[in-house]
Each structure stands twice: as C-alpha cells, then as structure tokens.
Amino acid sequence: MNAEMLNISPAVVWVIALSQLLTFGLTVWNMISSGSRANAKRLDEHAGMLARHSERLQSMEQAVRDMPSRDDFHKLDREMVGLRGTMAVLTERLEPLKAITERMQELLLERGK
C-alpha cells in the first residue's frame, strides 16, 4: 500500500463540508419551524377559548329559548285582568260580612262593660 491509496484527507474535507451544511440546514429549519410551533400553541389556546365561548353561547341560547314569549306575557296579562275583576267582585261581596262582624264586635264590647 502506498501513500496515495491511504490518503483520506479529501474524504475528510467532504465529510466536514457536509457536516457543516447539515448543521446550517438544521439551524435554518429550527428557526423556521420555531415560529410555527409557537403559532400552533397559540392556535390550540384559541381553539380552547373558542370551545368555551361556544358552550357559553349554547347556554345563552337555551336560556333565551326557555324565556316566556310575547304571547305568554299577553296571556298572563289577560289572566291577571280576570283575577283583578274576580277580586273586585269578592271584595264587594265581603262588604256586608265586614259590616256584620263590626256590629257583632261592638255588641260584644257593649255587653262586656
């Protein structure tokens, strides 16, 4: 074996050059992808926030659906007007009873003296 056959210095130079290129390429890749990883993290946070807002919106929509409608309030108003009339009639019919009880109380107080 002569010295020309065992000379590996050109191969070492190529290996070092490829190693440097690979290191440079990986550095550039990490710089580019680090932004996308940060964005992916922010996107995950926003997705969670969006899911919470969606749940809140659904609960609000359900609450609005369960609220009485305009027709329900109108029916309630009519019923209250009817009750007001019934109470007026009842009050009018109780007036004689009130007078009787007042006279009986006066009589009992006079007898008690």
Question: What pLDDT was estimated at residue 95?
Answer: 93
Do 21 and 55 fall within a single domain? Answer: yes
Question: What pLDDT was estimated at residue 30?
Answer: 84
d(CA 65, CA 58): 10
Query: Considering the domain boundaries, does residue 51 fall inside one?
Result: yes
Q: Which pLDDT band holds residue 4 (cuts at 50, 70, 90)?
A: low
Lowest mean pLDDT among 10-24, 27-41, 81-95: 27-41
User: Which residues form the domain of 110?
Assistant: 68-113
d(CA 113, CA 105): 13
Query: What's the gap between Cα 48 and its chain centre?
Result: 12
Measured from the Cβ of residue 101, the count of other Cβ atoms closer than 10 Å reads 11
Quote the number of domains for the chain: 2
Q: Classify each residue of 4-28 as buried b or exposed e, where b means 16 or more C-beta atoms within 10 Å of its C-beta.
A: eeeeeeeeeeeeeeeeeeeeeeeee
Chain position carrying tokens 């109380």: 105
Query: Considering the domain boundaries, does residue 17 fall inside one?
Result: yes
Query: Considering the domain boundaries, does residue 28 fall inside one?
Result: yes
* pLDDT of 1 above 60: no
Six-digit token string for 32: 């580019």
